[in-house]
Structure 1
């Protein structure tokens, strides 16, 4: 994993030294943490022992079994966290991205070599300065910055999947992938795994997959937290208001980065039901606060607040909670609810003038 001292207080990394003027309150991924640096540092000082243990165990597992298999042991390891030095490899193998990349050598480079759609280029360019303005590695347009890598990945994906092209939210996902993999081509294939297989229709023009999953969460809340479900039912369209950014950005800029990366470990390995486990845990853990809401603005503000604080910052404990607090949640249950909600949404849309 990244040394906790590498990018923050002393800024020993050469590229960061050039991009950052002291004092540096920067985390291990280049994000400036002006307001919560001390609490982040305190958490990391404890979490580093967990990372050390996981790193040792993962190194031994991968030494004994170099080919990453899907089995109960690996699943347990993934749920306990993948160290940063192994993340790209595990994500690529678990998601099928490695197999796709191996089967199409040179494909990524060929996408960058074609004549580019002017509108696509302009749309992506517009979002470049909006992508992680608080990350020193994305601020610079120099060789040391990651803006060029980000632009290339998004441009290649837009040509690879013209039905999706580019929409807001994809820049943040690609940015996280580049931070972890440090590799354009791997980031591209992980984008393909996420948008094409793990989260189909999330980023299509109609965003039907996203709409469906918001309603699925509402159905799950009715079952697992009935009082909250009753409260939310008073406000039509409420789930779109409070959780659309959770899902479309895969919790980026919603939850702390270490927590997001732990969620993504499970997302690439187990699939999209992990997104529901996270949302349900946030709701269940904070149901008392949510039930105090007396108006729509109260509800919206409450859903902002429940993603903050020590509960979500302590990524290791939080990840343990998402597999216990919501209880059982099978992919079969999720798929049945998706079919039901998809049918309802399509019927409602067909009746609109």
Structure 2
């Protein structure tokens, strides 16, 4: 049965026509919207189109990049069908509206709906491991929807920001991550990108520190594990370049994990630009400053959330002198990248790119809620072992359970601002006492 998609049909012949019609549409549209990654997309879109035309099961896992080219494809594919299609904003927005209404009904899947005809189980592809469980049709639906969103990004995001956030929570398809992350943080076409090559020719006072820590960043990952490998070299380049443009922060080890994840998705110049935006606009710069005052604030806010929402666990932590920073500091500094397997952490990072540090507070408290019974029975050493050995593998089946639990957590932005003022007042008083 053909599946109706807001006024046009996707059937077997339509899928086969993708290989004939899609390449030029995708390339031309991305040229207008994303000139910074155009050459990269052009190099890979033909391969991706041929994959879809031959109905290959799923995109490959974690592919990597070089400074001039990449084996990771992030094509912004536009929908194609036996009849010529135009990117009609009204149609797309109506589709988003319907998709997100259905998300509220069934958090496990997205359903394509048009009138009385519904196609259940159209889930977004969140990672290579998850995509293997989806049908060809579901994957095509996800690609078609995200392709249209990317191609009409400015208009769609302006009108339907809430719906886009809901879709991001379900996971960005792997091959779209590089482009969508750049769009979410407004990192495309940044002037600082033109300085990147010149920065690499300069010498940074942080170079020895960066070199020392490179081997400790994703030591088991194929792209980074070999000494002097391409992965280690581009990671060094981005960290060095940032240390030169922000000499106050310089280099902090935790930031290398974030940059490493970016390099798994995009070329180093783009990764550098995204990292600059994350540092500037996502509170990361304050977290990584030498004083780490922002990390102290996050620990205070998070501890207050535990006290309010998990009072028994809070009392147990206090009785065991189990301080929040002992287990949660890495959650904030690396956005869970050192705490969970990469497929899980990447899904959380999708949401971080869309909603900021709020997801770290939410997911962190959800983890505590799900482990409260076990933690209440352990002493400090036992709890440390539980956080290090047990919790990282609790979501090996996929991140959906954790993400769903995270959005059951109570999070009040106004209260967080109030806690920020309280923390700042206390910190200033403490400074005055130390001076006197």
Task: Establish whether TM, by shorter chain, passes 0.5.
Answer: yes
Q: Distance in 2 between matches of 1:206 and 1:65?
A: 38
Aligned counterpart in structure 2 of residue 107 of structure 1, from 195, 201, 212: 195
2:142 alignment counterpart: 54
Aligned counterpart in structure 1 of residue 180 of structure 2, from 74, 77, 90: 90
Gaps of 5+ in 2: 1-47, 49-55, 66-126
Secondary structure (helix, strand or coil) at the match of 1:162 reads coil
1:275 alignment counterpart: 360
The offset of 1:85, in angstroms, is: 1.5
Secondary structure (helix, strand or coil) at the match of 2:286 reads coil
The offset of 1:64, in angstroms, is: 5.0
The offset of 1:145, in angstroms, is: 2.5
The offset of 1:176, in angstroms, is: 0.7
2:203 alignment counterpart: 116
Aligned counterpart in structure 2 of residue 189 of structure 1, from 270, 273, 282: 273
Aligned counterpart in structure 2 of residue 302 of structure 1, from 386, 405, 411: 386
Matches within 5 A, 1:306-317: 307-311=391-395, 313-317=397-401
Return closer, same or farther for 1:191/1:5 CA change in 2, 3 Å cut-off.
closer
Aligned counterpart in structure 1 of residue 310 of structure 2, from 212, 225, 236: 225
Q: Which moved more, 1:125-134 or 1:296-305?
A: 296-305
Judge conservation of contact 2:306–2:314 (CA < 8 Å) in 1: yes
Q: Distance in 2 between matches of 1:102 and 1:5?
A: 29
Q: TM-score w.r.t. structure 2 length?
A: 0.65
Return closer, same or farther for 1:64/1:123 CA change in 2, 3 Å cut-off.
closer
Q: Distance in 2 between matches of 1:193 and 1:14?
A: 21
Q: Distance in 1 between matches of 2:400 and 2:300?
A: 28
Q: Distance in 1 between matches of 2:412 and 2:396?
A: 24
Secondary structure (helix, strand or coil) at the match of 1:69 reads helix
The offset of 1:229, in angstroms, is: 1.4
Q: Distance in 2 between matches of 1:132 and 1:160?
A: 25
The offset of 1:112, in angstroms, is: 2.1
Return closer, same or farther for 1:260/1:3 CA change in 2, 3 Å cut-off.
farther
The offset of 1:56, in angstroms, is: 3.5
1:341 alignment counterpart: 423
Secondary structure (helix, strand or coil) at the match of 1:133 reads coil
Judge conservation of contact 1:216–1:334 (CA < 8 Å) in 2: yes
Return closer, same or farther for 1:208/1:82 CA change in 2, 3 Å cut-off.
same
1:288 alignment counterpart: 373
The offset of 1:130, in angstroms, is: 1.7
Judge conservation of contact 1:141–1:148 (CA < 8 Å) in 2: no
The offset of 1:280, in angstroms, is: 0.6
1:69 alignment counterpart: 157
Q: When the two structures are aligned, how many residues end up with a matched partner?
A: 316
Q: Which moved more, 1:198-207 or 1:228-237?
A: 228-237
Q: Which moved more, 1:338-347 or 1:270-279?
A: 338-347
Judge conservation of contact 2:64–2:223 (CA < 8 Å) in 1: no
Q: Distance in 2 between matches of 1:123 and 1:281?
A: 35
- Given the alignment of the two structures, is residue 78 of structure 1 paired with residue 179 of structure 2, yes or no? no
- Given the alignment of the two structures, is residue 136 of structure 1 paired with residue 231 of structure 2, yes or no? no
Q: Distance in 2 between matches of 1:311 and 1:155?
A: 34
Return closer, same or farther for 1:235/1:161 CA change in 2, 3 Å cut-off.
farther
Matches within 5 A, 1:242-281: 242-281=327-366
Q: Distance in 1 between matches of 2:135 and 2:256?
A: 29
Judge conservation of contact 2:239–2:256 (CA < 8 Å) in 1: yes
Q: Distance in 2 between matches of 1:345 and 1:300?
A: 28
